[in-house]
Chain A
């Protein structure tokens, strides 16, 4: 596998961002709204990919980081009356702190144990949301009031409920995270993460503090997932415990596996693919999850490294 030159990789990323920008003016109304949601959730998948794809740590608890951002931002608006920018930063901070704490504890394990420990922590987080229902809304969740979902710049204000504002905000977040994660994985630090994934003992022997590097990766991953959750709460106006359930820990894993682990654009492709398969097939049959399952089996058989991963392996070795 040959690596793309920085110019080639960034050109591709900027091209994708430009394409998404242009699509905003071309897509029919429904798909315009759907793509905004997909971009926000693709950020969740990109955060997951950071840990799973580049460090090789399979977590089944990332819903808690997404939910930390979701509740951190949503409750800041609902309960504390914070403005959108501060609430967004608050949500990200919640995810970062939680990721640091979980990382310190969970990274004492590896492999299957890491998977189980993260799942258990996520379950604790989920049950805490239900337990403190007075503040969180429990399983019913809460609405983030529409009048509060406004970005104000002096005399100018932008309503996040406006489809164009929402799309461009989602695109902005997606673009920043794409470029930042791309820069991270191409940096010296990113190479250390890949080295840990390939052979942790050898990396240690070379003098790297693998625990610290992995902990930093957990924090970066959790922070990105929290940014996605915070954006989801503010852009779509609802926070609920279902977003902290195990289903939302498995979804980013599926999106990343589908799109291609350790590829920068794989999370977007995987999320896009899964969303459209469900959206289209559910219009024809209530057994649409069966079709999704068959699609997943076919992908695993014919694209074992995910869509972009397999394309990179077979045809375009330079794909970032």
Chain B
């Protein structure tokens, strides 16, 4: 391993007899303390261990699989470039079953059995919230890739970070100006009647109001529903935009029945791609979405103006121009979210290097170093785009993509600015004790 500081570069120093004697004395001293030497060597050469809390089974399995692929690609790239602080990175994976109870156990297992340096990679909000107490109690830095507002709400604890993907509140606030200016000013929301839907229910109306548009109806669909036609008569006739964020297997039925209800004369449609992550946009029944718009964190389809970094990222992760696995066009990725794993690992790398991180005893330093970060420039480490980071709320802010379904593909038609998604901090984690 090459040393960036040139510590072993003898050409930069003059070896005197006094220095040599000091060195010999120090060497003899260390020789009498074999345990210490072993410890030092282990510290300097042992890999950085990252505990990956993966949704391998349960409702998040499709996301979990692609999060693992992205993580493996990022770790390969980091290791090929010399690792973190000159140490290779090793990822240890535990399945949390997308269950908050098991999630907390897994965090405990990473802390007390695997003794990882950090825990990373959780997506589903309820698993993050369920696992956060275990992370705080074990003083284990916990880097999630969830997009939930729970981290930025400052209701978790000082050890939980979300530096690689924006949160849903920021995403919604970024979308509002474009919706009001381009899609329509009278918006009807259709959302699942649970927490994911409530974020949209609560944050969209004020964001649209600020842009001179209104939410004229909010239709909450109970999570047990499998047929949606009976809800559609509640959509006011004057609706100009239907804003939909349905998720889960029922989304195909939802779109099909919406198409049957409206036929060709439908209002504008705007949705979040969360509904269709890992689902082929050309699946039977989704034809009705042609011409509609979606939020995407990172574009699923390769775009004409993709940066060199974006192209390199896609190649490294192994997704083709359609956002599917190279060699398996049916294996559609979760492109809009999984870039967060890549970027989070590079944030961890930067924070560990800033902190001079050596091992678990430096976890508090790592927390403070992460909180001190402010900006991430677009490039190979952040291929989705530039970001700012608010260390007080442990949350990053970045650009968002609005894509239109055209000819069976998603084409980016608008990129928001970072400022579009900024909001007032709701608290300050840095006031909590470490």
Contact = CB atoms under 8 A, between A and B. Distances in A.
B61 to A, nearest CB: 8
Contacts of B57: 286, 288-289
Interface of B: 56-57, 94-95, 99-101, 104-105, 108-109, 112-113, 125-126, 129-130, 132-134, 136-137, 148, 150, 155-157, 193-196, 198, 222-224
Interface string A226-259: 0000000000111011110000000000000000
B104 A238 contact: yes
Chief secondary structure at chain B's binding surface: helix
A216 interface: no
A140 B148 contact: yes
Contacts of B150: 140
Interface in A103-146: 127, 130-131, 133, 137-144, 146
A242 B195 contact: no
A257 to B, nearest CB: 20
Nearest to A243: B101
Contacts of A34: 105, 108
6 contacts: A32-B112, A139-B223, A141-B130, A143-B132, A146-B136, A289-B57
B126 A30 contact: no
Nearest to B132: A143
A196 B224 CA distance: 37
B101 A141 contact: no
Contact of A144 (B56, B108, B133, B134): B133
Nearest to B56: A286
A283 B196 CA distance: 30
8 A-B pairs with the lowest CB-CB distances in the bound complex, closest first:
A237-B133, A30-B113, A29-B112, A30-B112, A140-B195, A286-B56, A139-B194, A161-B137
Contacts of A172: none
Given A30-B112, A238-B104, A242-B99, A139 B195 contact: yes
Which of A130, A238, A279 neighbours the largest number of chain B CB atoms within 10 Å of its CB? A238
Contacts of A137: 129, 195
Contacts of A142: 129
Nearest to B192: A139
Contacts of A62: none
A11 interface: no
Contacts of A240: 100, 126, 129-130
A282 B99 contact: no
B100 A237 contact: no
A282 B95 contact: yes
B159 to A, nearest CB: 11
Contacts of A33: 108, 112
B409 to A, nearest CB: 32
